Amino acid sequence: MQWQTNLPLIAILRGIKPGEALEHVAAVINAGFDTVEIPLNSPHWEQSIPAIVKEFGGQALVGAGTVLKPAQVDVLAEMGCKLIVTPNTHRDVIRCAVAHGMTVCPGCATATEAFTALEAGAQSLKIFPSSAFGPAYIKALKAVLPPDVPVFAVGGVTPDNLSQWINAGCIGAGLGNDLYRAGQSVERTARQATLFVNAYREAVQ
């Protein structure tokens, strides 16, 4: 399995509103990101996501997070989403997304959940919440997973500690509050995005 974007960092813009979404997505893409996730507990995501797909779908892997039901996957597929991210391991959601030809990054915490997700067709895994387990846990979990499965750390990842997760075997990370908090300025989003991109490049040198 191979992650399909150049930079394996997922910009999680939780809480973004439709009127500001395009500016913030442009900021993270200009910084070097090419994967963007809009969680479905964001205001009016059904407006934001199609607009982002239309504007940036040719430049980035655009998708949705906090996806909990197959019916949501069907709606997102119609919108042109290419990425489905979940907080849990839900076989039916994974299978539905795979059937639509989407990339799926399901949340898991244990070896059982990880292998359940892979057996359902997931092409990558999200260890969540990573900060509750730590890099040593992920390193141990990676030892039993197929070596070619892209694993992302999500939850508590910052520019200062990103290298710890990379060194533990993660291909990259999903970045939430330390990249974007609802209501923050576009300038802060751009600044944090640049810090993360630089931290990743330093970690993989």
Active-site option among 46, 55, 126, 142: 126
Q: Packing angle between helix 18-31 and helix 45-56, nearest 10 degrees?
A: 40
Helix, strand, coil proportions of the chain in percent (round to 5)?
A: 45, 15, 40
φ, ψ (nearest 5 deg) of residue 10: -105, 120
* Catalytic residue check, 37: yes
Active-site option among 17, 20, 23, 37: 37
Helix/strand/coil for 31? helix
Cα separation, 140 vs 145, whole angstroms: 9
Token pair, residue 11, equals 């910009």
Helix/strand/coil for 90? coil
Locate tokens 């990054």: which residue? 105
**DSSP string spanning 125-183?**
EEETTHHHH-HHHHHHHHTTS-TTS-EEEESS--TTTHHHHHHTT-SEEEE-TTT--TT
* Catalytic residue check, 46: no
Residues tagged active-site:
37, 126
